[in-house]
C-alpha cells in the first residue's frame, strides 16, 4: 500500500522529505497535493513554485476541493487505493480516521529533522492515539478574538474590560439590562469544536478533549 504524507508547512515538509530525493531521482517525480483550502490556492501555488525551482525534476500539483465535500472525496479515493501523495487533514479525530487504516505515513526526526522545531504541544493534533506516532505538522494557527459592540457599551456606560473579573462584570451588567452578553457564531460545526477545545479545558482542566 502506498501511504501518503500529511502536509503541514509545505516548504518545510517538502524540502525536508523530498529534497534529498530530488538529488538521487533518476526519473521526474510528479506529486499531487489535496486540500480543502480552496481560498489558499494562490499561496500554495506560490510556495510550490519556489519548491520546484529549488528541486528540479519534482512537480507538485495542488488540488483543493470544497471543504464540506473534501473528507468524503479523500476517503473514497484512499479506500480505492488511489488519491494524492500529500494531503491536508483536520487534526485529532480527522487524523485518526486516516492514520488507523495505514493510509498515511508516520513522521519522525530521522525522516524529518525539522520536526524538532515544533513544540510538542503544537504536534499534539498530529499524533495518533492508536500508536502515538506523529503523522504531520501544523499548516496554520488560529486566533480567537472577542468583538464588542461600541454602541451598546456606550449606551450602558461600559468600558472595555482589562481582566477576567472585569469581563465577567461586563457580562453580568449586560445580562441584568436585558442585553445578550455573549454570542458565538456556530453555523459551521467546526467552529464549535474550536471553541470547545480552546475554552473548556480552562474550566475543567486536563486533556480529555484532545483524547476523546
The predicted-structure confidence for 83-116, as pLDDT tens digits, reads as follows 999 999 876 667 888 888 888 888 888 888 888 8
The predicted-structure confidence for 173-202, as pLDDT tens digits, reads as follows 999 999 999 888 777 777 777 777 677 766
How many angstroms separate the CA atoms of 25 and 4, rounded? 19
As a whole number, mean pLDDT of residues 55-74 equals 93
Question: pTM for this one?
Answer: 0.69
The predicted-structure confidence for 6-34, as pLDDT tens digits, reads as follows 554 444 444 444 544 444 456 889 999 99
Enumerate domains of the chain plus CATH numbers. 5-126 (3.40.190.10), 150-211 (no CATH)
Amino acid at each position: 500500500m502506498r501511504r501518503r504524507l500529511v502536509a503541514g508547512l509545505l516548504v518545510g515538509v517538502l524540502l525536508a522529505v523530498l529534497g534529498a530525493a530530488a538529488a538521487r531521482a533518476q526519473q521526474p517525480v510528479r506529486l499531487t497535493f489535496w486540500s480543502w483550502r480552496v481560498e489558499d490556492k494562490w499561496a500554495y501555488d506560490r510556495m510550490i513554485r519556489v519548491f520546484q525551482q529549488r528541486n528540479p525534476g519534482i512537480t507538485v500539483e495542488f488540488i483543493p476541493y470544497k471543504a464540506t465535500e473534501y473528507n468524503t472525496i479523500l476517503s473514497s479515493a484512499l479506500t480505492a487505493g488511489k488519491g494524492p501523495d500529500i494531503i491536508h487533514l483536520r487534526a485529532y479525530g480527522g487524523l485518526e480516521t486516516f492514520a488507523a487504516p495505514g493510509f498515511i505515513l508516520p513522521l519522525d526526526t530521522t525522516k524529518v529533522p525539522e520536526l524538532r522545531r515544533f513544540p510538542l504541544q503544537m504536534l499534539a493534533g498530529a499524533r495518533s492515539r492508536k500508536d502515538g506516532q506523529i503523522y504531520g505538522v501544523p499548516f496554520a494557527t488560529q486566533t480567537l478574538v472577542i468583538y464588542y459592540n461600541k454602541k451598546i457599551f456606550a449606551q450602558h456606560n461600559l468600558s472595555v474590560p482589562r481582566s477576567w473579573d472585569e469581563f465577567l462584570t461586563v457580562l453580568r451588567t449586560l445580562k441584568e439590562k436585558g442585553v445578550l452578553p455573549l454570542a458565538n457564531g456556530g453555523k459551521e460545526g467546526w467552529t464549535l469544536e474550536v471553541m470547545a477545545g480552546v475554552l473548556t479545558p480552562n474550566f475543567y482542566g486536563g486533556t480529555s478533549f484532545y483524547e476523546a
